[in-house]
Amino acid sequence: MQEIKTISFIGSGNVATALAIHLFKKKYTISQVYSKNLHNAQVLAKKVKAKATNHIQNIADADLYIIALKDDVIETVSKKIKNKNIPIVHTSGTVSTEVFYKNKFKTFGCFYPLQTFSKKNKLGVSNFPILLEANDTKFYSKLEKLALAVSANRLRANSKQRLNIHLAAVLACNFTNYLYSVSEDILNQSHFKINLLYPLIKQTAENAKKEKVFTLQTGPAIRKDYSTIRKHLQVLEKNKKAKKMYRLLTQAIQEKATE
Amino acid sequence: MQEIKTISFIGSGNVATALAIHLFKKKYTISQVYSKNLHNAQVLAKKVKAKATNHIQNIADADLYIIALKDDVIETVSKKIKNKNIPIVHTSGTVSTEVFYKNKFKTFGCFYPLQTFSKKNKLGVSNFPILLEANDTKFYSKLEKLALAVSANRLRANSKQRLNIHLAAVLACNFTNYLYSVSEDILNQSHFKINLLYPLIKQTAENAKKEKVFTLQTGPAIRKDYSTIRKHLQVLEKNKKAKKMYRLLTQAIQEKATE
């Protein structure tokens, strides 16, 4: 098995964009970018001097295929790839690598960056974990080397562990970002901006460096400060969904406190 | 009105502890610490060379009273204070300063640190906002000076604005910390630790520096990646409360995306 030097990307979303641009900068050759939407494929392909295609059957040979697609379609799309001899990975937190075995690939694995990517944000130098899995020791070593081009922090996780880690990441990142956004809406109603909360948000994030973060829980729920809770619910009167969420999280905090 | 040099603290919880210790280091004299639990009052009093009491009627005169108690009891406790000529503030995000007017205080206001405090964490040099309110211009200036001893970042907010800001803070801090703690539980089940997620948590927090954080929303909910959502719900099968919360937040994200 030769060294990984050329890569074709299957997908052109946030993860594909962040990885492709970063690896291109690190002197990897990006052969081709596939997306079912040709324009999207072209936008990314242009940035990394690759070719674009919207026909998965035409995906160019390379030392590695990286599939960065919605979990739902990884199986269907990988089935359509002609050359099953090309080593392949997906970047999904939740899809088992079994999917490649079922589809007759010989060498396969997972390259899951445990980070949040947006097309706006460039992949920085931060030391986020990359969770690796491979069906072959030599291939694992090659993935490790590729991972090192992205982050110094890589580790092995099997498909089951990765699913748990991905769920934990959704709570700590996606749900948190949603809460920030509701928080921002409430501040905007009073003509304040979200940056007012940044020192608080930063300290809360810092607290999560330690273990047992629930011992650092503060606020009206854990204090059982019901007059404050009532006032908050009044502010949320017009926003039924937010009010329901506030109630549920308050109860959940109080229940966890009694565990 | 004389300069604020001596302060008596009414309360001995997280906020009282963080502020009293910090102000003591900044050469303020802490006269007395009140708590209905004498031991708690003594623990904090010892740290700041103050006297302790569990009789609010005996609270010593000072240039300022700082009430840092649960919102529910601020009114009752402040009513019992004998000397209504002492300037007084509370540290609550949600209690209107009206409470002091009703209780015949002459000079009053609010000194609300927009930060999360635990007894474990020392109040660092971070530049968090302190929201100030006063019923008198001169007193406001004195509070500003006191605030400067704690943080360079202070601003005026009336009681209504402060309630909105406090609610926003609960979402962005308390609820977020709870999500981190559930996330930690899930990781622990797979023998991983919360520090695995720290780069992700940090990046998510960084994203909140900008405006319109919802435009940075990632994850299965916004991608409508239902196969992933199903897998996550399976992992949460045994934890009914967490499963309900996962569903509600997923729906809320999807609804917000269509707004």
Judge whether residue B124 has pLDDT over 70. Answer: no
Cβ count within 10 A of residue B196: 23
Interface residue B187 vs chain A (CB under 8 A)? yes
Least Cα separation, residue A40 to chain B (angstroms)? 16
Judge whether residue A3 has pLDDT over 90. Answer: no
Encoded tokens for A209? 């460096």
Helix (H) or strand (E) holding B146: helix B137-148
Choose the weakest-confidence range: A30-34, A230-234, B83-87, B148-152. Answer: B148-152
Residues 6+ apart with CB under 8 A from B206: none
State the count of interchain CB pairs (< 8 A) between A and B: 350
Q: Are B183 and A171 in contact (CB under 8 A)?
A: yes
User: Considering its fold, how many domains does chain A have in total?
Assistant: 2
Residue A71 lies in a domain: yes
Is A96 found in the same domain as A15?
yes
Residue A248's domain comprises 163-258
Residue B1 lies in a domain: no
Residue A247 lies in a domain: yes
Interface touch B214/A253, C-beta < 8 Å: no
The candidate with the shortest Cα–Cα distance to B66, out of B87, B42, B49, is: B87
Picking from B12, B132, B218 by the largest number of A CB atoms within 10 A of its own CB, the best residue to mutate is B218
Q: What residues of B are in contact with residue A93 (Cβ under 8 Å)?
A: 228
Residue A231 lies in a domain: yes
Least Cα separation, residue A156 to chain B (angstroms)? 12
Residue B232 lies in a domain: yes
Greater confidence (A254 vs B72) lies with A254
- N-terminal to C-terminal alpha carbon distance within chain A: 53
Is A92 found in the same domain as A206?
no
Residue B46: Cβ-neighbour burial (10 angstroms; 0-12, 13-18, 19+): exposed
User: In this complex, which of A118, A181, A255 lies closest to B218 when CB atoms are compared?
Assistant: A118
Please state, in angstroms and rounded to a whole number, the distance separating the CA atoms of residues B27 and B146: 11
Please state, in angstroms and rounded to a whole number, the distance separating the CA atoms of residues A63 and A77: 19
Residue B35 lies in a domain: yes
Is B201 found in the same domain as B240?
yes
b/e per residue A155-164 (b: at least 16 CB within 10 A): eebebebbbb
Is A185 found in the same domain as A110?
no
Vertex B22, ends B12 and B205: CA angle to 5°?
Answer: 95
Is A59 found in the same domain as A23?
yes
* Predicted confidence (pLDDT) per residue in A119-146, tens digit: 666 665 468 999 999 999 999 999 999 9
Residue A1 lies in a domain: no
Helix (H) or strand (E) holding B29: strand B29-34
Domain termination residue (choose one: B107, B136, B157): B157
The pLDDT mean for chain A works out to 93
Q: Is the dihedral of CA A220, A222, A227, A233 positive or negative?
A: positive
Domain termination residue (choose one: A123, A157, A191): A157
Is B180 found in the same domain as B248?
yes
The candidate with the shortest Cα–Cα distance to B48, out of B15, B86, B8, is: B8
Is A132 found in the same domain as A214?
no
Is A130 found in the same domain as A68?
yes
Residue type, B211: E
Residue B59 lies in a domain: yes
Is A180 found in the same domain as A70?
no
* Predicted confidence (pLDDT) per residue in A172-216, tens digit: 999 999 999 999 999 999 899 999 999 999 999 999 988 899 999
Domain termination residue (choose one: B95, B126, B157): B157
Instruction: Read off the pLDDT band of B211 (50, 70, 90).
Output: confident
Helix B38-47 / helix B14-25 crossing angle, nearest 10 deg: 20
Count, residues in chain A: 259
User: In this complex, which of A127, A166, A201 lies closest to B199 when CB atoms are compared?
Assistant: A127
Q: Domain containing A124 — which CATH number? A: 3.40.50.720
Interface residue B115 vs chain A (CB under 8 A)? yes
Q: What residues of A are in contact with residue B156 (Cβ under 8 Å)?
A: none
Q: Are B30 and B48 in contact (CB under 8 A)?
A: yes
Interface touch A231/B94, C-beta < 8 Å: yes
Instruction: Read off the pLDDT band of A229 (50, 70, 90).
Output: very high
Q: Domain containing A213 — which CATH number? A: 1.10.1040.20
The pLDDT mean for chain B works out to 93
Is B240 found in the same domain as B167?
yes
User: In this complex, which of A94, A165, A218 lies closest to B187 when CB atoms are compared?
Assistant: A165
Is A42 found in the same domain as A26?
yes
Helix (H) or strand (E) holding B111: strand B108-113
Is B76 found in the same domain as B57?
yes
ipTM of the complex: 0.89
Strand bridging mode B130-134 / B108-113: antiparallel
Locate tokens 């009093």: which residue? B45
